Amino acid sequence: MDSKTKRSAGIGLAEVMLLLVAAVWGGSYAVAKQATQQLPVLEFIALRFGLTFLVLLPALKPLFGVEWQRGLAVGGLLGANLLAIFVCETFGVSLTTASNAAFLISLCVALTPFVEWWLLGQRPARRMFRAAGLSALGAAMLSATSPAELSVGWGDGLMVIAAFLRAVMVCMTRRLAGHHAMPALTLTAVQSGVMALGAAALALVAAPAGGAWHVPPATASFWWGMAYLVLLCTVFAFFAQNHAASRSSPSRVSLLMGSEPVFGALIAACGFGERIGPWGWAGGLLIVCAAWWVTMPAREASGRVVAGDAA
């Protein structure tokens, strides 16, 4: 077995980082929902990623090399896709329930093998499709105490679009990894700058005639929440995702990220007193099992361990 095969099997640093990202993002729904009740969605996105860009300014140094145009083009393309994700996701969270949002964004897990096949021309192994289906089923169970509680609205539709765009994002990051030499943190900085400018432009276009830019609230809860979203949910999370996406298959990345609703449920239950019934916890277990399954090395009929993405 060569070194590349070894890196793709089992749990390594990239997989651990992705699970930490899932845990951090699991707690972001309540924070973002609270923040968008105090500031319009587009202005909130512009503020969040503008602050992120300022934090990451020192990381831009590698961009000013001989291939800065190529690096800027890649970062701009990925940043535009990420802006579309966050516009859909943030509006979606504000228009639907937290449980529906957690379920629908997790459809990214089920969609990624098909997007990977479409964009990269690589048909994922059969167990990837099975694990994706298992994860989607688990997310559906986690989102409601019974199947009858699921509903579809405008917010739900936006979350479905965001889930598809997340799958595209993972595959694009993988596909473009060989077209630039930027460190993951530099790529995150460029993406943040593109998102801040894009969201600010959209906010100005969408504002009514004579409308003024809102002043962010001075409350401690708002700024503590913003610090959580900027430092953990954005700086750390996007760095970890960019780092891992170039070192693991897109389907593997999305399946590990699919444990996000489980962490969200744990945070909601322990931190906010939300009650989750047996149906929901059973769904969470399915998601964990799917994430665990895809990190395990596959075995051929002879019993020899092969690559983690084998059929």
Residue 94 has pLDDT above 50, yes or no: yes
Residue 67 pLDDT grade (very low, low, confident, very high; cuts 50, 70, 90): low
Mean pLDDT of 164-184: 79
User: For 232-264, how does the pLDDT look when each residue is reduced to its tens digit (9 = 90+)?
Assistant: 988 888 778 767 766 666 666 766 666 777 777
Which of the pair, 273 or 19, is modelled with greater confidence? 19
Residue 64 has pLDDT above 80, yes or no: no
Of the ranges 117-121, 169-173, 201-205, which is most confident? Answer: 201-205
Give Cα 127 distance to the centre of its chain: 22
- In this prediction, residue 185 carries a pLDDT of 80
Residue 269 pLDDT grade (very low, low, confident, very high; cuts 50, 70, 90): confident
pTM score, whole prediction: 0.73
- In this prediction, residue 111 carries a pLDDT of 82
Average pLDDT, rounded, for the chain = 77
Residue 307 has pLDDT above 60, yes or no: no
Dihedral pair phi/psi, residue 122, rounded to 5°: -115, 110
Residue 159 has pLDDT above 90, yes or no: no
User: For 98-113, how does the pLDDT look when each residue is reduced to its tens digit (9 = 90+)?
Assistant: 666 777 777 787 788 8
User: For 278-298, how does the pLDDT look when each residue is reduced to its tens digit (9 = 90+)?
Assistant: 877 787 778 778 776 766 666
Residue 59 pLDDT grade (very low, low, confident, very high; cuts 50, 70, 90): confident
Query: Using an 8 Å Cβ cutoff, are 311 and 127 in contact?
Result: yes
Separation of alpha carbons 281 and 216, rounded Å: 37
Residue 1 has pLDDT above 60, yes or no: no
- In this prediction, residue 47 carries a pLDDT of 94
Residue 8 pLDDT grade (very low, low, confident, very high; cuts 50, 70, 90): very low
- In this prediction, residue 23 carries a pLDDT of 84
- In this prediction, residue 32 carries a pLDDT of 83
- In this prediction, residue 50 carries a pLDDT of 94
Of the ranges 78-87, 132-141, 143-152, 266-275, which is most confident? Answer: 78-87
Residue 2 has pLDDT above 50, yes or no: no
- In this prediction, residue 233 carries a pLDDT of 87
